[in-house]
Amino acid sequence: MTIFHRHIPSPVGPLLIAASDAGLHAVEFPENRHPVKHWSPWEPGDHAVLRETQSQLDAYFAGTLKTFDLPLAPQGTAFQEQVWTTLASIPYGSTWSYLDLANALGKPSATRAVGAANGRNPLPIVLPCHRVIGANGALTGFGGGLPTKEFLLRLEGALPATSAGTLFA
């Protein structure tokens, strides 16, 4: 299976998107804490899923898309994939704590494992791991960096807009 990829512009910097006939495999930020393992062969190129992903991401950043509708093909353990699938149930403009996410999975004692799986999400934005915050409401680690997480939550209205551009103004 050949996975095609391209870089696309976004308000949070260029994003790497990768897809095959199986679906979307990756969305990566310029500075990604846990980059997706690049399977072989990865080739620059065009694919219908890449075109649709770019179109939907453009609409998301324009504020006109709240729910993605793409074929997804993330690769992880069964538990990771269960966490990633559950991320899609966090409503646009809302946030959940790691405990909320663990409870939604029926595993309330697995908050650390849920946090680790959340951090390895290969499809950020599309599977909205940025909507998961600390139990005290604090923005916690994010593969694309906390400024990107803050930007995405402000875009969705989950955080109040601020002219200072920081939570600590």
Known catalytic residues? 129
Distance CA 102, CA 65 (A): 27
Distance CA 91, CA 97 (A): 13
- Are 117 and 76 a contacting pair, CB within 8 Å? yes
- Amino acid letter, residue 36: V
The dihedrals phi and psi of 70, each to the nearest 5 degrees, come to: -135, 150
R_g (Cα) of the chain, nearest Å = 16
- Relative orientation angle of helices 78-87 and 111-119, to the nearest 10 degrees: 80
